[in-house]
């Protein structure tokens, strides 16, 4: 800070004091939470946190982002008529949501919605002519779901007596690189800009309502963080203002011990950032995987809670992540379906050859999920999404078979099942318990891998054994539910 003698000491103390006393909390509301008049739920929940200053982040209403992506493709085909139909439907949907959240929708709200409709219409129509849907334009189009949402949220809050200002991610100060569709925040610039814009509002008792998912480049071009990216907005803002906590309000009770669609599972009370990151990598839909990074760096606790059951404790993700139920060696069992295993064989297939082939596949965009290699280096197995199987096999056949490798096999319809928990680190016998629990039910394990972080042990099994396996594992480590 530059010393300015004109600032009186008293003033400095006052400012520092108010900053210290001001606990800020960032709350993000997902697409299902804001649907069907859900903007009112934000107000109800805010009332439970009266003593804190809040920054609100909202997602697009559930389904809107999907439709925007769809209509972008329609526009690229040049189908004006279908674009017009979409625009009508979309305008009507957001008007209906406005009515559900605010009994009478005043002209101010109407004008704002019309402006958003108009801008979206222009871009879609121009796309009908240019017929060139670049990632940059797609990001611009996708960002509109949150544009509507932030207007509706801010208006609902104001209507119910909470002074609020709606801002896009860019307006709130989130500055990113230019990787469209998967942007990364430039944290130093973002921190400064967010401070300049949001702190004065908070000090005046105004609640900033920020549209999630999108930011802008330093040149002012709209970017998005990829699907589910509103969570990232919340943690970026949390880190920028050094929030006390971040709450992700969704439609689930928190992170679950297993996919509730597969078996009866329960909420995990606490997780470390690492554990949560592992779970997110397995597609635990609770949140966007990168979103943990800013919170982790600033040690800001994240709560994942259910808007429809706000009294529930939810899941706390923090540095310690401890204090879970007593048996917390394994906290969750996660699943990736729709996989295939490819095994390549040959003398010394392990070393350089493996690097070469796996690198080649990765360059083709084939996502290798799990690798296992025998000590003899005579064979190497890896798991890839089944949809990539054909292209993987043909690359290997054309380029390596009969040369570096002698033989290739594949197994279809497998899934990866992983147990996750930092309590496994240095605890002997975990793998044995995993294998025994499956062996006792005559379930065959096709492949095994464990990283040296010991945060996760992954196995591959046949898809048909999935349900039984998850049940067995859950019972062994997390008990019956
Ligand atoms: N609306 C965006 C999506 O559907 C971002 C989000 O909801 O987090 O992916
Ligand atoms: Mg989400």
Q: What is the mean pLDDT of residues 127-142?
A: 97
Annotate 2-69 with DSSP letters as a single string.
---TTS-HHHHHHHHHHHHH--EEEEEE-HHHHTTTTHHHHHHHHHTTTTSEEEEEEPPPTTHHHHHH
Closest ligand (CA of 285): 2
Please state, in angstroms and rounded to a whole number, the distance separating the CA atoms of residues 349 and 343: 10
- Examine the pLDDT at 439 and tell me if it is beyond 50: yes
Phi first, then psi, for residue 454 (nearest 5°) are: 55, 30
Question: How confident is the model at residue 4, as a pLDDT?
Answer: 53
Closest ligand (CA of 226): 1
| Token output for 59 | 């997602």
Instruction: Write the pLDDT tens digit of every residue in 377-427.
Output: 788 999 999 999 999 999 999 999 998 889 999 999 999 999 999 888 888
Q: How many other CB atoms are there within 10 angstroms of residue 435's CB atom? A: 15
Q: Ligand 1: which of 30, 32, 59 to mutate, most ligand atoms within 8 Å of CB?
A: 59
Question: How confident is the model at residue 325, as a pLDDT?
Answer: 42
Structural contact between residues 253 and 309, judged by C-beta atoms closer than 8 angstroms: yes
What's the pTM value of the predicted model, to 2 decimals? 0.88
Fold classification of 332-478 is VC0802-like (3.30.2130)
Nearest to 60 by CA among 151, 184, 190, 178: 151
What number does the ligand 1 atom closest to the CA of 288 have? Answer: 8
| Token output for 351 | 């070393």
Closest ligand (CA of 288): 2
Q: What is the mean pLDDT of residues 103-122?
A: 94
Question: How confident is the model at residue 286, as a pLDDT?
Answer: 65
- Residues less than 5 Å from ion ligand 2, measured at CB: 30, 228
CA–centroid distance, residue 230 to ligand 1 (Å): 6
Fold classification of 12-250 is Carbamate kinase (3.40.1160)
CATH 3.30.2130.10 boundaries in the chain: 332-478
Q: What is the mean pLDDT of residues 162-183?
A: 97
Instruction: Write the pLDDT tens digit of every residue in 325-335.
Output: 445 789 999 99
Question: How confident is the model at residue 328, as a pLDDT?
Answer: 74
- Examine the pLDDT at 42 and tell me if it is beyond 80: yes
Instruction: Write the pLDDT tens digit of every residue in 265-319.
Output: 999 999 999 999 988 888 666 678 899 999 999 999 999 999 999 999 899 999 8
Please state, in angstroms and rounded to a whole number, the distance separating the CA atoms of residues 176 and 187: 8
CATH 3.40.1160.10 boundaries in the chain: 12-250
DSSP code, position 444:
P
What number does the ligand 1 atom closest to the CA of 226 have? Answer: 9
CA–centroid distance, residue 227 to ligand 1 (Å): 5
CA–centroid distance, residue 449 to ligand 1 (Å): 32
H or E element that contains 126: helix 107-130
- Helix, strand, coil shares, percent, the chain, to 5: 45, 20, 35
- Examine the pLDDT at 324 and tell me if it is beyond 50: no
Please state, in angstroms and rounded to a whole number, the distance separating the CA atoms of residues 67 and 296: 33
Q: Which 3-state string (H, E, C) describes 387-421?
A: HHHHHHHHHHHHHCECCCECEEEEEEEEEEEEEEC
CA–centroid distance, residue 448 to ligand 2 (Å): 30
With H, G, I as helix, E, B as strand and everything else as coil, classify residue 466.
helix
| Token output for 156 | 């609902």
- pLDDT greater at residue 199 or residue 3: 199
- Examine the pLDDT at 32 and tell me if it is beyond 70: yes
Of all residues in the chain, what percent carry a pLDDT higher than 90? 77
Nearest to 406 by CA among 343, 364, 358: 343
Please state, in angstroms and rounded to a whole number, the distance separating the CA atoms of residues 255 and 234: 17
CA–centroid distance, residue 470 to ligand 1 (Å): 29
Residues with a CB atom less than 6 Å from ligand 1: 31, 59-60, 65, 145, 212-213, 227-230
CA–centroid distance, residue 78 to ligand 2 (Å): 31
Specify the residue with its C-alpha closest to ligand 1, atom 5. Answer: 228
Specify the residue with its C-alpha closest to ligand 1, atom 8. Answer: 228
Question: How confident is the model at residue 22, as a pLDDT?
Answer: 65
Annotate 350-389 with DSSP letters as a single string.
SSHHHHHHHHHHHHTT----EEEE-TT-SEEEEEEEGGGH
Structural contact between residues 445 and 416, judged by C-beta atoms closer than 8 angstroms: no
- Examine the pLDDT at 54 and tell me if it is beyond 70: yes
Mean pLDDT for the chain? 91
Q: How many other CB atoms are there within 10 angstroms of residue 133's CB atom? A: 16
Question: How confident is the model at residue 295, as a pLDDT?
Answer: 96
CA–centroid distance, residue 287 to ligand 1 (Å): 10
């Amino acid at each position: 800070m530059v010393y300015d003698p004109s600032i009186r000491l008293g003033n400095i103390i006052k400012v520092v004091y108010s900053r210290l006393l001001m606990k800020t909390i960032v709350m993000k509301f997902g697409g299902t939470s804001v649907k069907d008049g859900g903007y009112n739920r934000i107000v109800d929940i805010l009332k439970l946190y009266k003593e804190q200053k809040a920054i609100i982040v909202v997602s697009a209403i559930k389904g809107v982002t999907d439709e925007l992506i769809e209509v972008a493709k329609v526009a690229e085909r040049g189908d004006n008529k279908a674009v017009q139909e979409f625009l009508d439907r979309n305008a009507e949907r957001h008007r209906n949501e406005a009515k559900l959240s605010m009994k009478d929708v005043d002209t101010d709200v109407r004008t704002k919605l019309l402006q958003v409709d108009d801008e979206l219409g222009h871009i879609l129509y121009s796309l009908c002519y240019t017929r060139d849907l670049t990632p940059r334009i797609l990001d611009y189009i996708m960002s509109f779901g949150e544009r509507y949402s932030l207007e509706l949220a801010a208006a609902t809050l104001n209507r119910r007596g909470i002074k609020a200002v709606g801002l896009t991610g860019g307006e709130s100060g989130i500055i990113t690189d230019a990787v469209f569709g998967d942007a990364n925040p430039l944290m130093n610039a973002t921190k400064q800009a967010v401070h300049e814009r949001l702190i004065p509002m908070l000090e005046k008792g105004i609640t900033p309502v920020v549209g999630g998912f999108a930011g802008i480049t330093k040149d002012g071009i709209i970017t998005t963080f990829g699907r589910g990216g509103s969570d990232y907005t919340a943690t970026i803002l949390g880190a920028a203002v050094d929030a006390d906590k971040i709450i992700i309000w969704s439609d689930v009770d928190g992170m679950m011990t297993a996919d509730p669609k597969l078996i009866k599972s329960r909420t995990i009370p606490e997780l470390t950032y690492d554990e949560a990151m592992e779970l997110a990598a397995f597609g635990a839909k609770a949140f966007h995987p990168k979103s943990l990074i800013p919170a982790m760096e600033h040690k800001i606790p994240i709560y994942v809670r259910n808007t429809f059951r706000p009294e529930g404790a939810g899941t706390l993700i923090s540095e310690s992540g401890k204090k879970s139920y007593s048996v917390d060696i394994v906290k969750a069992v996660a699943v990736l379906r729709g996989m295939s295993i490819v095994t390549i064989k040959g003398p010394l297939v392990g070393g350089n050859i493996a690097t070469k082939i796996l690198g080649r596949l990765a360059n083709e965009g084939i996502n290798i999920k799990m690798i296992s290699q025998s000590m003899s280096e005579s064979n190497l197995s890896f798991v890839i999404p089944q949809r990539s199987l054909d292209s993987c096999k043909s690359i290997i056949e054309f380029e390596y078979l009969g040369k570096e490798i002698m033989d290739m096999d594949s197994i279809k319809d497998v899934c990866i099942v992983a147990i996750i928990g930092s309590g496994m680190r240095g605890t002997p016998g975990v793998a044995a318990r995993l294998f025994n629990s499956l062996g006792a039910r005559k379930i065959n394990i096709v492949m095994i891998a464990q990283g040296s972080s010991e945060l996760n042990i992954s196995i591959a099994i046949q898809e048909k054994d999935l349900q039984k396996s998850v049940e067995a594992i859950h019972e062994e480590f997390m008990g019956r539910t």
